[in-house]
Amino acid sequence: MHVAVIGAGVIGVCTAHWLREAGHEVTVIDRRANVAQETSFAPAALSAPALAVPWSAPHMPRRWLTQWLRPHGPVVLRPGLTPANWRWLIRWLGEARASRFALNQDRLRRLAIYGRDQMQQLHVGQEFTGGDRAGCLRLFRHERELIAAQAQLAALADAGLLMEEATPERCRELEPALSDETALAGGLSLPDARTGNCAFFARQLKYALMAKGVDFIFRAELATLDVSGRRPRLHLRATTEPDDPDATQPPTGAPAMLEADAVVLCTGADSAGLLRRLGCDPGFVPIKGYSITLGIRRHERAPLAAVIDEATGVSITRMGHRIRVAGGIELGGGRELSADGAVPNALWHVLRDWFGGAADMSCPQLWVGARPLLPQGTPLLGATPHPAVFVNLAHGSHGWTVAAGAGKAVADVVGGATPEIDLDGLTFATRRR
């Protein structure tokens, strides 16, 4: 078949990879000048199935409220929430019941483990480089939070995921630069977690796909999708956004119309309107997350790999000669980028707490991404009510962790094959069961 993949983030390029591996002709379309220029550009530089926990966990409503009320809290509810935002919050509270969370956790963890395994398969025969590192350390400021997390170790071990307890002394052995002035009750070490640059990985995969005959159409977006005929017709229009400074491809003359046998939507929050026109209620809302990437000023004060501040959910990751601080939850408001908002201030605060003096503050790179999220915190994969339109959406903050697995599962569905992973609860037909 000829399959059109809309969206060239890490989800889109991984989906294109598996479609091409299955023998399909693939065209990837994106409105930006290169792959991974929006939500995949600068998220938390972490991929770890053990960290794949739905945001509908029972403790999350109280944590969100507490962090919302704190002066340096990374949770922001913007004034003027829409009715869709309020409906989402009500459903999210319902999904935070222990029984529902256990079901959603099993579904997300199953996909995350599958994603890890498929990522290893994707790398076979490829010469990807990226300077990624192994290891992540979860840091707990309070004993009660550490005890609650330790209670989950048995379930992680049963799932084949490694997480080791670490005393405060052991934490400082793993990360010698941790501040002595910040309270530290202990930690949990994830030796199998991987850090790296998601956007750089997506670009390397793009070059590998182009060598295999995959077509990329940049600076073009889907204006309308006509599914009234035998084959979907994609009406495209050229985008007029400024060229990205990192673009590696000249402007592409987008055809006015493209026909395909199947279409896969990997366009994140921007898929909502199109899905409604196809008779689908996507059920997700965009939740913004932030990151700040900085050069290292003093290497002896910088992290060696990655740490997560459990009190806020903020991650601090070493990326070669840079540090990336990522996190935050912002619901409502526009998609404007502001360096003075509550969430960026929270990220600065956490960085100074743990690694004060490590970063060069003179030239920070601030990023914000709108990540679609269902109330239950699980992705939306596979078929839609229209037989030629498929989705790979709503991965929340776990996109890089599940990308290869979600892409493989969706490629199987598009090709009429039975996925290797159970998609119960991850499709339009089963998501509310």
The pLDDT value recorded for residue 246 is: 47
**Tokens 């019941």 appear where?**
97
Q: How far is the C-alpha of 78 from the C-alpha of 334, rounded, in Å?
A: 9
Residue 153 burial by CB count (10 A; 0-12/13-18/19+): exposed, middle or buried?
middle
Closest CA to 399 of 148, 89, 51, 101: 51
Q: What is the pLDDT of residue 252?
A: 53
Rounded Cα–Cα distance for residues 35 and 247 (Å): 9
**327 - beta bridge partners?**
290
What is the Cα–Cα distance from 379 to 372, expressed in whole angstroms? Answer: 9
User: Which amino acid, one-letter code, is at 397?
Assistant: S
- C-alpha 148: how far from its chain's center? 25
Gyration radius (Cα) of the chain, Å: 21
CA distance 225 to 202: 26
Burial label for 170, CB within 10 Å (0-12, 13-18, 19+), is middle
Residue with tokens 């256990």: 102
Domain ranges of the chain: 1-58+97-131+196-283+374-433, 62-79+133-192+285-373
Number of Cβ within a 10 Å radius of residue 273: 10
CATH 3.40.50.1820 is the classification of domain 1-58+97-131+196-283+374-433? no
Which structure tokens are listed for 185? 């009750």
Distances in whole angstroms, Cα of residue 432 to Cα of each of 33, 91, 92, 195, 379: 37, 11, 12, 33, 12
C-beta of residue 379 within 8 angstroms of C-beta of residue 351: no
- Burial of residue 25 (CB within 10 Å: 0-12, 13-18, 19+) is middle
Q: CB–CB of 175/217 below 8 Å?
A: no
The whole-number pLDDT of residue 139 equals: 98
What is the spatial distance between Cα 66 and Cα 76, in angstroms, rounded to a whole number?
11
* Spatial separation of the C-alpha atoms in residues 125 and 140, rounded to whole Å: 40
Distance between CA atoms of 32 and 41, rounded to whole angstroms?
A: 11
Quote the CA–CA distance of 24 and 372 in Å, as a whole number: 28
Give me the sign of the Cα torsion angle 240, 245, 249, 250.
Answer: positive
User: Which tokens go with 363?
Assistant: 């030239």
Alpha-carbon gap, residue 268 to 395, rounded angstroms: 8
The Cα–Cα gap between 96 and 102 comes to 9
62-79+133-192+285-373: CATH topology: D-Amino Acid Oxidase; Chain A, domain 2 (3.30.9)
Instruction: Find out whether 29 and 217 touch, Cβ atoms under 8 Å.
Output: yes
pTM flag (> 0.85) = yes
List average pLDDT for each run of 10 residues in the chain, which is 433 residues long. 97 98 97 94 92 92 85 79 91 94 95 95 78 86 94 91 95 96 96 90 95 95 91 90 51 76 95 90 91 96 95 93 94 66 89 96 91 95 96 95 97 97 94 76
Can you give the pLDDT at residue 251? 46
Separation CA 320–CA 226 (nearest Å): 46
Structure tokens belonging to residue 10: 């890490």
Sole residue written with tokens 């926990």: 53
